[in-house]
């Protein structure tokens, strides 16, 4: 698969087959992704791959915290406090696409809640990755880690795997660090569901749109 083809083919998958991903496959992905660029070659990323009992334990703890009404306390502000256009409309349309695809009506709070809870199970993917950053690093390293995470997703696609990068998996970072035995001075940036896509599930049939190049680019000669 060519690089541009892979970029267009990548999409967030929210239903996975009950099929394990071999450790050797994940190692190949990370071996390729480690060549992502970083400022002055700092390579600030740290990855924890969870499978089996460990993955189940983390997801169970996240679900319990959410059900108990524990207020999420992420290590950093992912979203703005006040939404404005065009981002507000894009966010609303994204959720509308998901629920429309699944046939979930706005007033069906039970099904909406059930769908949201699937986030904390990493959509039942057999593997969940957690990406950390040394807390002493600054904003530039967030960019570095973003390029690394994208590289991981493209490498997964090359292996016939699918992914879903998730903010929901990092809503309770202290809890995740405790279970995984990670130092408290590491910022939990992102979680990622990883596995083989269930192509028969309707949740995987929709694709969020992207703005045309002309909408976000200026060419100056």
Q: Can you give the CATH number for the domain in which 40 is found?
A: 3.40.109.10
Q: Determine the pLDDT at residue 1.
A: 80
Which residue, 164, 153, 163, 188, is CA-closest to 78? Answer: 188
Residue 5 backbone dihedrals phi, psi, to 5 degrees: -65, -40
Domain of residue 130: give its range.
Answer: 3-79+120-206
Instruction: Reply yes or no: is the peptide bond before residue 86 cis, omega within 30 of 0.
Output: yes
Share the mean pLDDT of the chain.
96
Q: What is the mean pLDDT of residues 173-180?
A: 97
Digit-coded pLDDT (tens) for 93-150: 999 999 999 888 988 889 999 899 999 999 999 999 999 999 999 999 999 999 999 9
Which residue, 164, 166, 173, is CA-closest to 62? Answer: 173
Q: How many CB atoms lie within 10 A of CB 120?
A: 23
Q: b/e string for 166-181 if b means 16 or more Cβ within 10 A? A: bebbbbbbebbbebbe
Q: Is residue 198 part of a domain?
A: yes
Structure tokens at 88: 């507000």
Q: Are 101 and 202 in contact (CB under 8 A)?
A: yes
Q: Determine the pLDDT at residue 69.
A: 94
Enumerate the H helices of 159-212 as residue ranges.
173-180
Q: How many domains does the chain have?
A: 1
The greatest distance separating any two alpha carbons of the chain, rounded to the nearest whole angstrom, comes to 57
Residue at token pair 């979203």: 79
Q: Is residue 152 part of a domain?
A: yes
Q: Is residue 56 part of a domain?
A: yes
Kindly report the CA angle at 204 between 145 and 5, in degrees rounded to 5?
Answer: 55
Cα–Cα distance, 18 to 161 (Å, whole number): 13
Q: Is residue 107 part of a domain?
A: no
Q: Are 159 and 26 in contact (CB under 8 A)?
A: no
Burial class (CB in 10 A: 0-12, 13-18, 19+), 122: buried
Q: What is the mean pLDDT of residues 152-181?
A: 97
Q: Determine the pLDDT at residue 106.
A: 84
Reported as half-sphere exposure (CB side, CA atoms, 13 A), residue 167 has a value of 9
Q: Determine the pLDDT at residue 168.
A: 97
Q: Are 110 and 151 in contact (CB under 8 A)?
A: no
Q: Determine the pLDDT at residue 107.
A: 86
Q: Is residue 133 part of a domain?
A: yes
Q: Is residue 170 part of a domain?
A: yes
Q: Is residue 195 part of a domain?
A: yes
Distances 93 to 16, 73, 165 between C-alpha atoms, Å: 24, 26, 19
Q: Is residue 47 part of a domain?
A: yes
């Amino acid at each position: 698969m060519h690089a541009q083809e892979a970029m267009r083919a990548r999409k967030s998958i929210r239903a996975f087959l009950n099929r394990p991903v071999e450790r050797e496959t994940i190692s190949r992905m990370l071996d390729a992704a480690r060549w992502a660029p970083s400022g002055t070659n700092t390579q600030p990323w740290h990855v924890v791959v969870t499978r089996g009992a460990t993955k189940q334990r983390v997801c169970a703890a996240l679900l319990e915290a959410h059900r108990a009404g524990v207020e999420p306390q992420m290590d950093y502000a992912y979203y703005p406090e006040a939404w404005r256009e065009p981002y507000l409309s894009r966010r609303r349309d994204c959720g509308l696409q998901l629920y429309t695809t699944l046939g979930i009506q706005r007033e069906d709070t039970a099904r909406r809640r059930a769908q949201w809870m699937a986030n904390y199970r990493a959509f039942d993917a057999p593997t969940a990755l957690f990406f950390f950053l040394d807390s002493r690093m600054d904003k530039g390293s967030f960019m570095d880690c973003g390029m690394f995470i994208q590289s991981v997703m493209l490498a997964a696609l090359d292996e016939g795997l699918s992914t879903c990068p998730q903010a929901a998996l990092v809503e309770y970072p202290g809890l995740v660090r405790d279970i995984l035995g990670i130092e408290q001075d590491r910022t939990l940036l992102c979680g990622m569901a990883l596995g083989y896509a269930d192509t028969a599930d309707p949740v995987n049939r929709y694709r969020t749109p992207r703005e045309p190049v002309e909408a976000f680019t200026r060419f100056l000669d």
